[in-house]
Structure 1
Amino acid sequence: MPDEGRISPPKLDTTFQPAKNTVLVSHGRPPWYGENGQRISDAFVVGIAGTKRCNSSYVWQQLNTVCPGLFFFLSRFGILFGLSTQADRAVAKPMFLGKSFYKRHTDEELALAHASAFDFDHPDSIDMPLFAACLSDLKACKQSNIPVYSFVTHQREDEPKYLYGAAIIITEGIMALQDPALRDLYDLKLFVQCDTDLMLARRIKRDVEERGRSVSGILEQYLRYVKPAYDNFVLPSQRYADIIVPGSNNTVAIDLICTHIRRKLQERSNSFRHKMATPHMYTSPSGRSIPHYSLEDLNLTVLPQTRQLQGIFTILRSNTSSRQDFIFFVDRLATLLIEFALQYLPFSPRTVITPIEAAFTGKALSAKYVCGVSILRSGGTLERGFKRPLMLHVMLPVCVRKRHMAEETWVFLLDAQIGTGASAFMAIRILLDHGVKPQHIIFVTFLVARGGGVSVLRRAFPDIKIVTAGVDDVMQEGWIDGSPGEGNPQGRQVWTMLPGLGKIADRYYL
């Protein structure tokens, strides 16, 4: 292909620029997709209802204490967001976003809200269709942008909160079981029951001590809004609950709920990395032959194997090369790869006038958004080469986080090599969950293992482009921290590409 040369990047609206890059961390989350790349399990959704001061928040906090494999984010009437299913790698980190799904208010409603005369306890104050749409996206393992409500201005803020990657989602609030569209999304429905006198006592204590309010004002609001909402909407919704949990002395109930959630997560777990690493072991009758996939079979685009490229690989593969030489030639190879991969971006005809007033018809980049997404940490070794011709984002940019933009975004997905293909598989699935079109994904990598997971990757995602500088044949199985033969159950299975480049990120950064 002809060299397209250095191009001018498309201009992005500065209002869409993030304060910092977003890095997705799986925390050991098992794959939510199958070997064909399609989703095989949804997030597990729990709805918790109960009136104010009934200790429903205490219930989900106890769920996290008893079942520490849940990694939660919290929106008071919205999303409790779980990422991890491995207790040893999970960290409880609540994030309070307020009652996110309150509707946008008119000027008249704002005046009532500031005068404490607006009924926030009525179902009509909640944007139920938006809530159901966001929850449906998260349940389907897609990204969603959750609205953020300000109690200072009594209005929804313009910038939503980005959420993605839940293994468990818990919605908690007084109206959580009230709407049928929401109930249809729940896998488990809980109602926290509490004596009304106790709830009123807790409310008075909180508002007097924490908010400086008078007892008379508390009672007026309680009788005018809170008690009618409880009688008319909240209490009747308990008939939809699968389990009714007492507001106190509920250790046994919480333990049973946690056991049920663990069992459901186990049923939804999926693992096939060993099959990706050595696919011939599962497709060849002998289990020994190394598949000789042609580059046409794998649909790879390989950088022309010039003498310059062979010289670069000789330096990068040598364990005696200095770190300075290694970094220099990694950056050089990354630049060559990215510039070669630019051929897959869309270009349209463009006529310009030359300095001697003659017309010339050439090509101009026609992609609306172009970005780079790194698979950390080895994908970072390609970032400098990516920034030279394009100078755009890395990691997870705004044009991917917002779905209406993601559909028009072209993504350079960066990783040092495709061995087992497990990281590449997950990264591609994440981009698809955000709305990026598969034909808009250009995977750029230094090396691909012909006998590794790339064949599985191509079957699952035939429309993506894979651009590489070289192809190695062999994936060698090994063990670290012990092996089964030594009777060490803690041994971890690994696969190494031969002849390979070693641990590129360690050589580059350390």
Structure 2
Amino acid sequence: MLPPLIRSVRKAHQAEVTTLKNQLLKSHGRPPWYGENGRPIGEAFVVGIAGGSASGKTHVARQIVQNLGSIPTVIILSQDSFYKKHTPEELELAFQNLYDFDHPDSVDVPLFAACLADLKAWQQSNIPIYSFTEHQRLDETKYLYGASIIITEGILALHDQKLRDLYDLKIFVQCDSDIMLARRIKRDVAERGRSVEGVLDQYLRFVKPSFDNFVSPSAKYADIIVPGSNNNVAIELISTHIRRELTNRAREFRCKITNAIKPNPSTPDPSHIAVEQLPNLHIIPQTPQLKGIYTTLRDKTSERQEFIFNVDRLATYLIEKALEFVPAGHETVTTPVGVEYNGRSIDTEICGVTILRSGGPLEKGMRRVLRDPAVGSLLIQSDVKSGEAILLHSMLPTSIRERCRAEVTWVFLLDAQIVTSASGIMAVRVLLDHGVQEDHIIFVTILAAPRGVHVLNRLFPKIKIVSGSADPNLTPIWIPGDGDDEAREVLCIEPGMGHIGDRYYL
């Protein structure tokens, strides 16, 4: 029996090993995955890789990712995480190496298919974590979201029809049985704390029969058979096919977006729409005090400390205004003089999501108004060549990452300005993908242009926008290119107040 400390360290190590099999591999960012109507276009590209135990499935998956080069985000999803939760009787058998982990009944296929279907549909998923030393599924999960390519691997990845229906490309890794056995012994002894005798007994009792009865027959469903070694040619063919598929999908998307943003002579210019015509835009009362704050913020000669002080004041007002749209319940309390008072209280879960980095100045106002709010962030930037918004990083609160909580959570989306709303559209789409209700999203901003608000209202009519002011004019300016990149046109809001994030942080 191992000492408790060693057992604890080994358990943590095995959980980490299992977790590492499910990875989110990031590249140059995630381009828009939605169309001109704000709804998702198509699905993620899913590759299923099956083969015998220790045949090299994970290695093939990583070779594909490496060979793809500069690509959007990739998820590698392992079947090993989806072993069923074991009963005490099953655990006793597992510790005696008498439980068949290679039989299809050992895998929670409905959960596996559900998680894969969510990821394929651009939604988030919380993947279970399995400990090989404890022979049990752990309580914690691994959050995954945002991939254009999903690669699943497992000995039974092609066995079940529910999984096969989700794959765009099916691969079977063929390897010599002696090599697979040698690899399995080396792996299980080093990584899973098994003895050589135990590995051999389990191989003869379960692994070999399962391969003959279930794994090997599933090769007939594969689109391509890949050797377990010396497979560079096959990997290149697979990578070329995936790149071609992604290129075709991206070209179709860019075409649709280009057509969508062309001016339509039959509709009025959104820049000329009055604020009163924007139903979900709520401007806080323009008091002399507020106008004084905006005068300071718009003055390019304002000192930085004075600018920061007034931004913090304004952020507090904006968050207080946003709270007016969050439902409040009735609550009766007793005052210090012993009298009952019928009041209101907010018992709804509220969190914030900042669009980095210009939305950062609004965080302090949220922390002033709400006690210990959970605040996450999204890093969204414009691609230098295409001008499209690119999602580079997401770090969302737990209340959003867990779908059952996301459906009842209210989210304050924080950004300093709404100009064309390109970043705002992507941020809202991320929240909707996680299950946040559209009418539970309140966009809080310091300055808004009618054009950007009009686009947000058209795509997402249920969200509310709270702003301190609205500026009517958008003026095109040219930003010089960097190196081989060409100069590009961007829209600047007027009279505006410059780049609020830079003025606040620099």
Fold match, TM over 0.5? Answer: yes
1:435 and 2:431 aligned: no
Q: Which residue of 2 aligns with 1:34?
A: 35
Q: Secondary structure at the match of 1:341?
A: helix
The runs of 5 or more residues in structure 1 that have no matched partner are: 1-23, 78-98
| 2:421 pairs with 1:421 | yes
**2:18 matched to which residue of 1?**
none
Letter in 2 for 1:223: L
Distance (whole Å) between structure 2 residues aligned to residue 215 and residue 354 of structure 1: 72
Distance 1:127 1:325, change over 3 A: same
* Alpha-carbon shift at residue 66 of structure 1 (Å): 1.2
Following superposition, the deviation at residue 397 of structure 1 comes to 1.3
Partner of 1:244: 225
Residues 61 and 76 in structure 2, CA contact (< 8 A), matched pair in contact too: no
Query: Quick one: structure 1 residues 330 and 227, their matched pair in 2 at CA, closer, same or farther if it must change by over 3 Å?
Result: same
Given that 1:143 and 1:433 are in contact with CA atoms closer than 8 Å, whether structure 2 keeps it comes out as: yes
Q: Does 1:385 align with 2:387?
A: no
Per the alignment, do residues 275 and 400 of structure 1 end up closer, same or farther by CA in structure 2, a change over 3 Å counting? same
Contact 1:273 1:420 in 2 (8 A): no
The separation in 2 between residues aligned to 1:38 and 1:124, in whole angstroms, is 37
Q: Which amino acid aligns with 1:43?
A: A
**Residues 1:366 and 1:221: Cα distance change in structure 2 (over 3 Å):** closer
Contact map agreement 1:334 1:384 (CA 8 A) in 2: yes
Q: Decide whether aligned partners of structure 1 residues 355 and 264 sit closer, same or farther in structure 2, where only a CA change above 3 A counts.
A: same
Q: What does 1:263-342 align with in structure 2 at a 5 Å threshold?
A: 263-269=244-250, 270-271=253-254, 282-284=263-265, 291-299=271-279, 300-342=281-323
Q: Which moved more, 1:248-257 or 1:169-178?
A: 248-257
> Which segments of 5 or more consecutive residues in structure 2 lack a partner in the other structure?
1-24, 377-395
Which residues of 2 match residues 121-200 of structure 1 at below 5 A? 121-200=102-181
Alpha carbons 1:331, 1:385 under 8 Å: kept = yes
Give, in angstroms, the shift of residue 190 of structure 1: 0.7
Alpha-carbon offset, residue 412 of structure 1: 0.8
Q: Any idea what the Cα deviations from partners look like across 1:33-70, whole Å, max 9, x if unmatched?
A: 11211111211111000011211222112112211234
* Structure-2 residue corresponding to 1:503: 499
Task: For 1:374, give the aligned amino acid.
Answer: T
The 1:100–1:217 alpha-carbon spacing in structure 2 relative to 1, beyond 3 Å, is closer
**Partner secondary structure for residue 359 of structure 2:** helix
Task: Provide the residue aligned with 1:449 in structure 2.
Answer: 449
Task: Please tell me whether residue 232 in structure 1 is matched to residue 213 in structure 2.
Answer: yes
Q: What is the aligned partner in structure 1 of residue 487 from structure 2?
A: 491
Change (3 A) 1:25 1:413: farther
Distance in 2 (alpha carbons) for counterparts of 1:365 and 1:47: 47
Aligned length: 459
Counterpart residue number, 1:412: 412
2:54 is the alignment partner of 1:58: no
Measured after TM superposition, the shift of residue 356 of structure 1 is 4.3
TM-score, normalising length: structure 2: 0.84
1:370 and 2:370 equivalent?
no
Residues 272 and 450 of structure 1: is their aligned pair in 2 closer, same or farther, counting only changes over 3 Å?
Answer: farther
**CA distance 1:154–1:488, shift in 2 (3 Å):** closer
The code of the aligned residue for 1:320 comes to: T
Distance (Å, rounded) in 2 between the aligned partners of 1:72 and 1:482: 29
Helix, strand or coil at the partner of 2:324: helix
- Alignment deviations for residues 371-417 of structure 1 (CA, whole Å, 9 cap, x no partner): 11111111111000011111301112111111111111111111101
Match for residue 111 of structure 1?
Answer: 92
CA distance in 2, matches of 1:404, 1:209: 38
Distance 1:273 1:458, change over 3 A: farther
CA distance in 2 between counterparts of 1:228 and 1:501 reads: 71
Distance 2:258 2:248 in 1: 20
DSSP 3-state at the match of 1:350? strand
Cα distance in 2 between the residues matched to 1:294 and 1:436 = 30
* Residue 85 (structure 1) aligns with: none
- What's the offset of the Cα at 1:72? 4.0
Structure 1 residues 179 and 274, CA gap change in structure 2 (3 angstroms): closer
Contact 2:74–2:148 (CA under 8 A) maintained in structure 1: no
Secondary structure in 1 matching 2:146: coil
**Contact 2:35-2:256 at 8 Å conserved across structures:** no
The code of the aligned residue for 1:468 comes to S
Aligned residue identity for 1:256 = L
After superposition, the C-alpha distances for 1:133-170 in whole angstroms (9 at most, x for unaligned) are: 11111111111111111123211111211111111111
Cross-structure match for 2:403 = 403
2:201 equivalent among 175, 198, 220: 220
CA offset at residue 204 of structure 1? 4.3
CA distance change for structure 1 residues 223 and 36 in 2, over 3 Å: closer, same or farther? same
Which has the bigger relative contact order, CA under 8 A and spacing at least 6? 1
Counterpart amino acid of 2:404?
H
Taking the aligned partners of 1:447 and 1:271, their CA distance within structure 2 comes to: 29
Tell me by how many angstroms 1:228 deviates: 0.5
Q: Does the Cα contact within 8 Å between 2:133 and 2:192 map onto a contact in 1?
A: no
Q: Deviations over 1:403-445 (max 9, x none)?
A: 1111111111111011110111011111111111111111100
8 Å CA contact 2:477–2:492 kept in 1: the answer is yes
Q: Distance in 1 between matches of 2:410 and 2:94?
A: 44
Q: Cα gap change, 1:25/1:189 in structure 2, threshold over 3 Å: closer, same or farther?
A: closer
Q: Note the C-alpha offset of 1:469.
A: 0.5
Distance 2:193 2:126 in 1: 34
Aligned amino acid, residue 76 of structure 1: S
Q: Distance in 1 between matches of 2:86 and 2:150?
A: 28
1:321, distance to aligned residue in structure 2 (A) = 0.7
Aligned with 2:40: secondary structure?
Answer: coil
Q: CA deviation at 1:175?
A: 0.6
Structure 1 Cα separation of the partners of residues 473 and 345 of structure 2: 41
Q: CA deviation at 1:282?
A: 1.3
In structure 2, the CA distance between the partners of 1:384 and 1:26, relative to structure 1 (3 Å rule), is farther
Contact residue 31 and residue 271 of structure 1 kept, 8 A: no
| CA shift for structure 1 position 320 | 0.9
- One-letter amino acid matched to 2:78: R
Does the CA-based 8 Å contact 2:438-2:462 persist in structure 1?
A: yes
Within the alignment, does 1:102 sit opposite 2:83 as a pair? yes
Higher strand share: 2
Displacement of 1:220 in angstroms is 2.6
Q: Deviations over 1:184-230 (max 9, x none)?
A: 11111111112223323433455567778665544332211111011
Structure 1 match to 2:384:
none
